[in-house]
Amino acid sequence: MIDVSRFLMNPECPWVDWRMATGTPDIVWCEKQLCSWITTPANAWSNLAFIVVAMIFFVMTRKEKAPNIRYYGIAALWVGATSFIYHSSLTYATQVLDFLGMYIFFFLVLAQNFARLGWIACRRVKSTLWILTATTTVGSAIAAKYGMHLQPVVMVLILFILATEIVCANRAVRKIEFRNLAFCLVSLSVGAFFSASDVTRRICNPDNHFFQGHALWHILGAVSLFFSILHYRQFYSLETGKMLSNLLTED
């Protein structure tokens, strides 16, 4: 369990009542916590990258006919908003909210792979992502109370996405362009490196409220989201917005 003394618990500071009421997060990032409504400025404000990407998505998809692709803007907004709230407050409750935001995006991607594999209908992608998000968020919140860290859940989701992507690639009938997926994975991997370097203190300057390794994870994560929509757009008809038929072999 995380030592509560590693978190700012001055009763005169914002959010401390929430920390006392709901508990503290299960991880301590490098950035020094301030007695402010924005507890960790670099880690909080870097989430504006997700908001910028969400705005780009809304512009890109204003004439989009595929509902699942149009939903990328909403998913990116969820990621940015929930992460901003979490890094501003650093409470257990808002950490769960942060993971809810991430789950929305990852399950949007995973549900599309389920549709490509024929496991669900394309029209069920959004309902599936919300069912999975709600179930996983509740499960994570309960598990965290018993000492389980939440970060491995995200890694499992990423691995599951990659596994289903590989199955789709092996069964593909139509040619798949993987360049944008490669850019997506590179951005995510580099961001994960800096985030890991942050939490392990390999790259750490607590007093720097402009640059932090975890803040770079947010920025590169937003870049990864951008390339993700470019990758998945190829599986939908431009004319009808429906997922293309005969994407995969039957076996």
Which DSSP string do the residues of 124-148 spell out, in sequence order? GHHHHHHHHHHHHHHHHHHHHHTT-
Instruction: Say yes or no to pLDDT of 147 above 90.
Output: no
pLDDT score, position 103: 96
Domains and their CATH numbers in the chain: 29-233 (1.20.1070)
Q: Residue 244's CB: how many other CB atoms inside 10 A?
A: 14
Res. 241 pLDDT band, cuts 50 70 90? confident
Q: How far apart are CA 242 and CA 89, in angstroms?
A: 41
The more confident residue out of 185 and 2 is: 185
pLDDT score, position 152: 86
Q: Which amino acid is at 86?
A: Y
The more confident residue out of 2 and 119 is: 119
Res. 2 pLDDT band, cuts 50 70 90? low
pLDDT score, position 6: 81
pLDDT score, position 79: 98
Res. 248 pLDDT band, cuts 50 70 90? low
Res. 148 pLDDT band, cuts 50 70 90? confident
Chain mean pLDDT for the chain: 92
Query: What average pLDDT does range 99-124 have in this prediction?
Result: 95
Res. 8 pLDDT band, cuts 50 70 90? confident
Model confidence, pTM: 0.92
Q: Largest alpha-carbon pair distance within the chain?
A: 63
pLDDT score, position 3: 63
Q: Provide φ and ψ at 101, rounded to 5°.
A: -60, -45
Q: How far apart are CA 168 and CA 107, in angstroms?
A: 16
* Partner residues linked to 236 by β-bridges: 243
DSSP state of 5: G
Query: What average pLDDT does range 88-104 have in this prediction?
Result: 95
Render pLDDT for 42-84 as a digit per residue (tens, 0 to 9): 999 999 999 999 999 999 999 999 999 999 999 999 999 999 9
* Contacts for 72 with CB less than 8 Å, ≥ 6 apart: 57, 61, 108, 225, 228, 229
Query: What average pLDDT does range 77-99 have in this prediction?
Result: 96
pLDDT score, position 249: 59
Query: What average pLDDT does range 137-164 have in this prediction?
Result: 88
pLDDT score, position 217: 97
Instruction: Say yes or no to pLDDT of 189 above 60.
Output: yes
Judged by DSSP in three states, 172 sits in strand
Among residues 103, 121, 104, the alpha carbon closest in space to that of 112 is found at: 121
HEC-encoded secondary structure of 58-124 = HHHCCCCCCHHHHHHHHHHHHHHHHHHHHHHHCCHHHHHHHHHHHHHHHHHHHHHHHHHCCCCCHHH
